[in-house]
Amino acid sequence: MSDHELRVSKIRNGTVIDHVEGGQALNVLAILGIDGSEGLGVSVVMNVPSDRLGRKDVVKVEGRELSQSEVDVLSLIAPEATINIIREFEVAEKNRVTRPDTVSGVLSCPNRNCITNAGEPVETRFDVVADGVRCDYCSTILRTDIAEHIDV
Ligand code: CTP
Ligand code: ZN
């Protein structure tokens, strides 16, 4: 990217989530549990041109690295995302997200009658399917509203 195209500063330490599907950046922040009150430096770029995706979002979070369960859920809304770990201004690690087969203990089931919502010690578990994730217990499918059902 040439200088006149650079939209936000490079960061010193933290995580850059790049190649997020255009329009999904706020859902990425929701999945990470970031609403600004933490005081972390956060930069969000939305709907910038991308060779690969047509348009993309980029989220930069300073001073924070991501857990595997966060990355797993991110993969569901941003399957093409690249997770760049930045240390002292350098890209120390670059990883593509991969879609897991299941996600356990991170999403809540939207079905009020599901056993996972009955106050029993049952951990949620969803199978990742083509059009979303499916509750193992009641088969309810979560599609676009995944970010609203994060439990972590
Ligand atoms: N980045 C940043 N701060 C740094 C280093 C990199 O914010 N100190 C950002 C870049 O702006 C870019 C992403 O992290 O959005 C990845 O950086 P880099 O690998 O240098 O860019 P590309 O080669 O364009 O990445 P890719 O090949 O994954 O498209
Ligand atoms: Zn369920």
Both tokens of 49, joined, read: 């041109």
Q: Kindly state the average pLDDT of the residues 34-52.
A: 93
Domains and CATH numbers, the chain: 14-96 (3.30.70.140), 102-149 (2.30.30.20)
Q: Kindly state the average pLDDT of the residues 44-55.
A: 92
**CB count, 10 Å around CB of 109?**
24
The rounded Å distance from CA 53 to ligand 1 centre is 16
Residue set of the binding site for Zn(2+): 109, 114, 135, 138
Q: How confident is the model at residue 8 (pLDDT cuts 50, 70, 90)?
A: confident
The rounded Å distance from CA 126 to ligand 2 centre is 8
Percent of the chain residues past pLDDT 90, beyond the cut: 71
Q: 58, 52, 54, 6: which is closest to 28 by C-alpha?
A: 58
The residues, any chain, with a CB within 8 Å of residue 147's CB and separated by 6 or more, are 27, 30, 31, 77
User: Which pLDDT tens digit goes with each residue over 70-126?
Assistant: 898 899 889 999 999 999 999 999 999 999 999 999 899 999 999 999 999 999 999
Buried-state track 72-104, b at ≥16 Cβ within 10 A, e below 16: bbbbbbbeebbbbbbeeeeeeeeeebeebeebe
Confidence (pLDDT) at 2: 52
Give pTM, 2 decimals.
0.86
Q: How confident is the model at residue 68 (pLDDT cuts 50, 70, 90)?
A: confident
User: Which pLDDT tens digit goes with each residue over 136-145?
Assistant: 999 999 987 8
Q: Which ligand is the nearest neighbour of the Cα of 114?
A: 2
